[in-house]
Structure 1
Amino acid sequence: MSAPAEQAQITLQSPDGARATLLLHGGQLVSWVPAGGAEQLYLSPTSRYGAGVAVRGGVPVIFPQFAAQGDGPRHGVARTRAWELVQQETGDRDALAVLRLQDDADTLRAWPQAFALELTVRIAGRTLEMELAVENRGEARFAFQAALHSYWAVEDAARVVIEGLQDRRYLDSLRGEEGVQHSHRLELLQGQPIDRIVYGPAAPLRLVGLGESSTRRLLIETEGFDDAVVWNPGANHGLADLPAEDWRRFVCLELAQIEHRPVLDPGEEWVARQTLTCL
């Protein structure tokens, strides 16, 4: 589902037919359709839009804190701010856009650091590339957390497995308990919520739909992100901006930098990337 027409949008289309849509609000990717494929991202039909509001779905940019692991707004300031488009182009084989956000009086009240973010989105064929760059524009060093909080569309969250997390430590944020993922496959339980931070997923991850009718196979590769997060609110979520049964329609599998916070001196930059391929 697309965002409301009144939202400032950037539409990308590569020569091979791949398409993507970004909102300037939050610098948020809300649609990705690979060449010859179907919509890959979930966007809630009841999501709210407007200044200071986080859009439910797509790929929100989390910065400078994850969840409530800091003194500022939950998941930081980036996902509720207006970004600017600094570059958009279509090449012979791809299309890309670069969006930028930097500190202002409002962000400095929430997090007293001078920063700039650049999000680069490139589509080609059945591949999506997203790069997040963080720059310290101030006079003091700072540490931060970051994530690309991706909502992947699925037929049924209870019939999805995630591969590639074997032997990784995790924190169950719902129970406050740590453990180790022993199985090669992580399965989501029918109707049950999950909120798990997995530390150090060095191997590529795969999101795989089960069942004869499912063709869902997504490969997720990273450079620069050390952690991953698996989240679904379950059947009894009570979220006002999510229809009651739509917990079935997505799985959040996001790449993140949570446990080891990057530290930037003045003028330094940190960069991380994720590459998504429909198999």
Structure 2
Amino acid sequence: MPTSIAITRHQGQDALQLQAPDGARATLLLHGAHLVSWIPAGADEQLYLSPRSAFATGQAVRGGVPVCFPQFAERGPLQKHGFARAKPWQLVTAEVGTDDALAVLRLNDDAATRMVWPHAFEAELSVRVAGRTLEIELACSNQGDAPLSFTAALHTYLRLGSVMRASLQGLGGLAYWDSVDKRAATQHEDLLRLDGELDRIYQGVEERLLRGAEQGHGQDLTLRDGDRRVAIRQQGFQDAVVWNPGEAKCAQLADMPEDGWRQMLCVEAAQVLNPVTLAPGEDWAGMQRLELL
């Protein structure tokens, strides 16, 4: 019989403390449906959270897993990364099961969202922790009488021991848009090494995963950080964004320490280059799965 999880407080915000029977833990804010901590069973913190992050109404948290919706970055008329990450979400369910802990939060349109994005919608974020895995799913349904289109991402900040010793494996052969150099290119090496500002949108990541599964071999992205390995898989999201601000840009971010760029890498399950379009009554869902190997 599942056991309900009560709302608690974290950094002055309403939050859910998820803890699976095996000890896996996660902390999810109702503000922005923002995951701010993931500690696998028998391990330590896997997400980066800036020590200078503001936990304030209407402001986005720097680090963890921000929800970018219904717009990614500044690719549209809305505020950067959309409004979802700065809105209060409603609790649908939060419970501990036999071998996991699960929470579901919901966001509906209101007068404020309709002023900037005139659509009736319902979004849900589901977070599940068990053992050494974390699953985050973002879903959206069109509840209006006209089509709607959006872009979205799970803006996952992964903690690093040192960016100079870290790399991301599994990108070889993928085309990408370089948002720093403003050009299209192809990743020729399978291993991406990190040494400065990086902002790329890789295409066809989900297709690569599906093709690998059909051929009987894995095509996960893998973060390599010293002896640590984190496998990163996605479903429903076609793109993956890889971002690190680098030294110069990090120094300009008021909610990041100057050396914060050395301790994080964003690997984001994203739908950016081809927006999702939903007819009235249609649904969409995308998921990112992380596993500490």
Same fold (TM over 0.5): yes
Alignment of structure 1 residues 1-279 onto 2, 5 Å: 4-189=10-195, 192-201=196-205, 202=208, 203-209=219-225, 214-236=226-248, 237=250, 238-279=252-293
Query: Residue type matched to 1:258 in 2?
Result: V
CA distance in 2, matches of 1:10, 1:205: 29
- After superposition, what is the alpha-carbon deviation per residue over 1:11-61, rounded to whole angstroms, capped at 9, x for unaligned? 000000000000111100000000000100011111112222111000001
Contact 2:11 2:55 in 1 (8 A): no
Task: Report the Cα offset of residue 84 of structure 1.
Answer: 1.0
Secondary structure of the corresponding residue to residue 135 of structure 2: strand
Shift of 1:215: 2.5
- CA-based RMSD of the aligned residues comes to 1.1
Ranges of 4+ aligned residues in structure 1 off by more than 3 Å: none
What TM-score do the two structures reach when normalised by structure 2?
0.90
- CA distance, structure 2, for counterparts of residue 205 and residue 38 of structure 1: 21
Distance in 1 between residues matched to 2:220 and 2:278, nearest whole Å: 27
Q: What CA distance in whole angstroms lies between the structure 1 residues aligned with 2:102 and 2:230?
A: 21
* CA distance, structure 2, for counterparts of residue 204 and residue 31 of structure 1: 22
C-alpha distance in 1 between matches for 2:169 and 2:11: 37
Q: Deviations over 1:129-163 (max 9, x none)?
A: 11111111111101111110000001011211111
Give, in whole Å, the separation in 2 of the partners of 1:100 and 1:115. 10
Distance in 2 separating the partners of 1:158 and 1:54? 27
| CA distance in 2: counterparts of 1:137 and 1:251, whole angstroms | 35
Q: Is the 1:77–1:110 contact (alpha carbons within 8 Å) kept by the matching residues of 2?
A: no
Letter aligned with residue 234 of structure 1: G
**In the comparison of the two structures, how many residue pairs are matched?**
271
Q: Deviations 1:48-106 (Å, cap 9, x if unpaired)?
A: 12222111000001111111111111111110100111101111110100011111111
- Could you list the per-position Cα deviations for residues 153-194 of structure 1 after superposition, in whole angstroms to 9, with x for gaps in the alignment? 0101121111111111111101111100000101111xx211
CA distance in 2, matches of 1:61, 1:197: 17
SS at match of 1:235: helix
- 1:116–1:266 Cα change, 3 Å: same
TM-score (norm 1): 0.95
- Which structure has the highest helix share of the two? 2
Residue 5 of structure 1 deviates from its aligned partner by 3.1
The 3-state SS of whatever aligns with 1:261 is strand
Deviation of 1:4 (Å)? 4.9
How many Å separate the matches in 1 of 2:117 and 2:54? 24
Aligned-residue identity in percent: 51
